[in-house]
Amino acid sequence: MTALIEYTGNLRCVAKHVQSGSLIETDAPTDNHGKGERFSPTDSLCMALATCMLTTMGIKVNSMEGVTIDGATAEVTKHMAANPRRVSAIDVILHLPAQEDEKTQEILEQVGNNCPVAKSIHPDIKLDLKYIWKKS
């Protein structure tokens, strides 16, 4: 089992990660009867994409001498559609430390583009994934 989830009322849930015991609370968004005081379930989907991209890139750099993405950040924007209400698009902008050569950056972009969450998202959801390589 991965998680235990409890509906606590007022359109909120608490998810407990079984292995670690860490908790995530969700709330319905303000445009769908909620207070928007926590990540919504659809926000969590979008956040999962960006964190998966960074995590898999981090796994890759662990096997590459002299390469790091420490300090990388991601901006995530969710786009919703109606009828049916669903996530229609996810924009992710990754800000990463520039690498010594373009080939390394291309490898890392391929890893990010092919992370497990990206490969699990329905093809009808448009993904706009951008990488900004910043020199320090």
Do 28 and 85 lie in one domain? The reply is no
Sign of CA dihedral 102, 106, 111, 112: positive
Q: If you ran DSSP here, which 8-state letter would residue 39 be given? A: B
Report the number of distinct structural domains present in the chain.
Answer: 2
Q: Supply the pTM of this predicted model.
A: 0.95
Give the model's pLDDT for residue 102: 95
Q: Per-residue confidence of the chain (136 residues) as pLDDT tens digits?
A: 999 999 999 999 999 999 999 999 999 999 999 999 999 999 999 999 999 999 999 999 999 999 999 999 999 999 999 999 999 999 999 999 999 999 999 999 999 999 999 999 999 999 999 999 998 7
Rg of the chain in Å (alpha carbons): 17
What residues make up the domain containing 51? 40-134
Pair 86, 80: CB distance under 8 Å: yes
Do 123 and 69 lie in one domain? The reply is yes
Do 79 and 48 lie in one domain? The reply is yes
Do 48 and 27 lie in one domain? The reply is no
Give the ranges where 62-134 is alpha helix by DSSP (H).
102-113, 116-120
Do 34 and 52 lie in one domain? The reply is no
Give the model's pLDDT for residue 46: 98
CATH of the domain at 120: 3.30.300.20
Do 34 and 66 lie in one domain? The reply is no
Do 122 and 111 lie in one domain? The reply is yes
